[in-house]
Chains A and B, each alone.
Chain A
Amino acid sequence: MTRTSRLRSGLAGLAIAFLSPLTAQAQMAHQHGSEAACEGTELRCATKVTPFFAADGKLWLAWMAGGRVSVANSTDGGKTYSAPVPVTEQQLNLDWGPDARPKLVVDSKGTVAVAFSIFRDQAFNGQVLTTRSSDGGQSFAPVRPITASNESQRFEAMALDQDGTVFVAWLDKRNRVPAKAAGRSYEGAGLFFSSSRDGGATYAEATLAQDNTCECCRLGLAFAGPGRPVVVFRNIYEGSVRDHAVVTFSDLTTPGEVTRVSSDDWQIKACPHQGPSLTVAPTGTYHVTWFTGGKVRKGLFYAQSRDGGRTFSEPMALGQADRNPTRPYVLATQDVTTLVWKEFDGERTTVMAIQSKDDGATWSKPRAIASTDNASDHPLLVANGRQVFLSWMTKSDGYRLQAIGDES
């Protein structure tokens, strides 16, 4: 027994001795196998890029590259960009989970509000940080946590209300502390929210909308009308069934009833790392798309609700099952609802698109609109008025903002 422990401590000493060359080796390995095309902070080195069209038609981008979040804008629809501005001076341990990405919104006065997550400690507890620029993106205020709580937060979603209020929802582990103290088990994370009426300078105290939701997927966020955010999230139902749910707020501080988008019956104690997407059409229809591995159905699905999220249509399957359809995203504009997702054939990743001109009742045939031969970000959709664009960061081909034509 004693001999064993002595041997162990001897080995521990050796392990420490090996640590420094190991760290160097690990860093080299990162460069070799990275998702990023390069190590700098410029756009072409980004792994995650998030677009936002301001009311004046200016395109804004926030991206993750070189351990920093940077922001730039384009007045010519993405042909050229302003000099990128990193929002922090120092590198951060940014949340590099598959569903993490920086968020930004820009109000009518040109105030840029930014939010993103970092890993705060060695145990991968997250923290949602915010900052803003009141000089048109030339400089950013020092980053601030969105909440005073020191428990893990991740997967913030950010949207701009009609009156310029910034609404943020995120997943927050704070309620595991009282549960643990009381000897109860705690599953998942709470869906928390807050808002800022000063363009992202300060945020109201965090409030819980729903406890025990799945802790590792992005949220879908849209507005059903002024002051009425809607959040779609992977909920945890009885028996660790991780199916999707939606909550519509009656105002910015009052979450309504939580309703189920679909009964897929995905009973899994795991991090699916793949959250839903939501858009609310001008007609008020909710369009939701998600991934599930449930007993009832597996793969990517789409459904719509025409009664404010109370009931949803029968889920419609998306993509070719043998091509691993993944990362669906939906966006409704005045005339058309567009859905994109990725497919993979073993060598190339292709972005597929379908469109509906009747608010989700019927859809065009899937069409490949872009492809790449290496790592890529999730495909996103963004609109400038009536024009819909695919926003997609790829390691091989850089960032692209591609107008989506009539798919029907």
Chain B
Amino acid sequence: MKREILKRKISAAVALCGLLALTASSMAAPQSLKPFERGTWREVLRAHAGRPTLIHFWGVTCGPCKIELPQLGKFMADHPEIDVVTVSADLVPNLTTATQAMLDKAGLAAAENFIFGDGFVERLRFEIDPSWQGDIPRTMLVTPDGAIETIEGSAEISDLGRWSAKQPRQQ
């Protein structure tokens, strides 16, 4: 019982920190882009464990990605219960400013946004999915218990909606 309360207190504190972090990150919007490096994948999964999470891989030079990104921005606005993470998975050199500008325009500035930050992209991709050869867009849907469903190519937003409806409601 005591433990339960403690947990709640911690979550409240975490939420407050989160709020502060959010304010800070929206003030310095372009700096929200974090490097995706060796080990980042594991950290992302750990950080979102227990929550339904949509992880979207895309790139600034990919035609279908440009069409899908704003749809995803709308999906995020409509589904606050889903954690949205984006990863710009173009080869390095990857363009930080262009990436951030496209995320902002698509309404995804408030998502947790990463950009490939390691020239050894094969190793980055291998950590995420050993069978992934770099095709983008690509969306991974992670349930609170860690089950991953991968959508190759542009996702149908209606499919994302159906998936999110199946996820347990968060408090």
Contact = CB atoms under 8 A, between A and B. Distances in A.
Interface of A: 11, 14-15, 18-19, 22-23, 25-26, 29-30, 32-36, 96-98, 119, 122, 124, 215-216, 240, 267-274, 291, 293, 298, 321-324, 326, 342, 344, 346-347, 349, 374-375, 395
A38 B151 CA distance: 36
Given A33-B92, A324-B133, A270 B62 contact: yes
B115 to A, nearest CB: 8
Contacts of A34: 92-93, 119
A25 B92 CA distance: 15
B89 to A, nearest CB: 10
A325 to B, nearest CB: 9
A216 B122 contact: no
A30 B30 contact: no
A268 B61 CA distance: 17
B121 interface: yes
Interface string B4-28: 0000000000000000000000111
A290 to B, nearest CB: 12
Contacts of B29: 11, 14-15, 18
Interface stretch (B47-55, B79-87, B135-143, B161-169): B135-143
Contacts of B71: none
B120 A14 contact: no
Interface string B85-103: 0000011111111100000
B117 interface: yes
Contacts of A322: 130
A274 B117 contact: no
Interface of B: 26-31, 35, 37, 59-65, 90-98, 116-123, 125-126, 130-138, 152-154
A374 B153 contact: no
Given A30-B93, A34-B93, A124-B60, 13 more contacts: A15-B28, A22-B96, A30-B92, A36-B119, A96-B93, A122-B98, A269-B64, A270-B138, A271-B136, A272-B135, A326-B133, A344-B123, A346-B126
Specify which of B27, B93, B121 lies most central, judged by the most chain A CB atoms within 10 Å of its CB. Answer: B93
B133 A272 contact: yes
A32 B115 CA distance: 13
A374 B119 contact: yes
A240 to B, nearest CB: 8
Contacts of A349: 122
Could you tell me the dominant secondary structure of chain B's interface residues?
loop
A18 B154 contact: no
B123 A14 contact: no
Contacts of B62: 216, 270-271
A33 B91 CA distance: 10
B134 A15 contact: no
Contact of A268 (B37, B60, B94, B153): B153
B118 A33 contact: yes
Specify which of A19, A98, A274 lies most central, judged by the most chain B CB atoms within 10 Å of its CB. Answer: A98
A270 B152 contact: yes
A269 B97 CA distance: 25
A22 B63 contact: no
Nearest to A268: B153
Contact of B97 (A23, A35, A124, A326): A23
14 contacts: A18-B31, A96-B91, A97-B61, A97-B91, A267-B153, A268-B152, A271-B63, A271-B136, A273-B136, A274-B134, A274-B135, A298-B131, A321-B131, A344-B122
B113 to A, nearest CB: 14
Contact of A32 (B117, B121, B123, B134): B117
Contacts of A32: 117
B126 A268 contact: no
Contacts of A347: 123
Given A98-B91, A270-B154, A347-B123, A33 B135 contact: no
Contacts of A298: 131
Nearest to A272: B135
Contact of B119 (A11, A33, A344): A33
Given A124-B60, A124-B61, A18 B152 contact: no
Contacts of A324: 122, 125-126, 130-133
Contacts of B135: 268, 270-274, 293
B42 to A, nearest CB: 13
Nearest 5 pairs of A and B residues by beta carbon: A35-B119, A270-B153, A268-B153, A26-B96, A269-B154
A270 B61 CA distance: 11
Contacts of B96: 22, 25-26, 29
Contacts of B95: 26
A298 B131 CA distance: 10
A22 B153 contact: no
A293 B153 CA distance: 11
A97 B138 CA distance: 17
A306 B120 CA distance: 39
Contacts of B121: 35, 375
Contacts of B152: 268, 270, 293
